Amino acid sequence: MLLHIIARGRIGRGPEADLVDRYLRRIAWPVRMTELPDQGGRMPAPAPASVTVALDERGEMLGSMELAQRLGRWRDDGRRECRFLIGAADGHDQQARGEADLLLAFGRATWPHLLARAMLAEQLWRATSILANHPYHREG
């Protein structure tokens, strides 16, 4: 299953971009990053049988094991793509939130999109390593 991060705003070069790249390179699954301008731009067409996750502070707060289980279930159900949407400064509009299969929160705080990308990249690495029985994640 393709893990596709679609983010509003440009990350450019710098420590945040390095951190995102560091985690994304570790993921054994196919990964794609698409950057869109803060407003407008063309949203990439979803693959058939895709699932959409929008990062939103009002969403579900899933633990790492729960996120891994969801990804594993979607993969096993034949989903070809999991799209992760990261909004601009004002987040997602009502339509994007309504169309998402899951609203995912990294706590109730609002995070800058650069940090949200790094946190998402790390959680995707962690989730895929859990599914592969890699020792990176420790419960306890």
CA neighbor of 109 nearest in space, from 64, 54, 56, 52: 56
Would you list which residues are annotated within the binding site for S-adenosyl-L-methionine?
55, 87
Would you list which residues are annotated within the binding site?
55, 87
pLDDT, tens only, 38-69: 888 899 999 999 999 999 988 999 999 999 99
pLDDT, tens only, 103-128: 999 988 878 878 889 999 999 999 99
The CATH number corresponding to 2-131 among 3.40.1280.10, 3.40.630.10, 3.40.50.300, 3.40.50.2300 equals 3.40.1280.10
- What does the pLDDT average to over 72-80? 96
- Convert the chain into a string of H (helix), E (strand) and C (coil): CEEEEEEECCCCCCHHHHHHHHHHHHCCCCEEEEEECCCCCCCCCCCCCEEEEEEEEEEECCCHHHHHHHHHHHHHCCCCEEEEEECECCECCHHHHHHCCEEECCCCCCCCHHHHHHHHHHHHHHHHHHHCCCCCCCCC
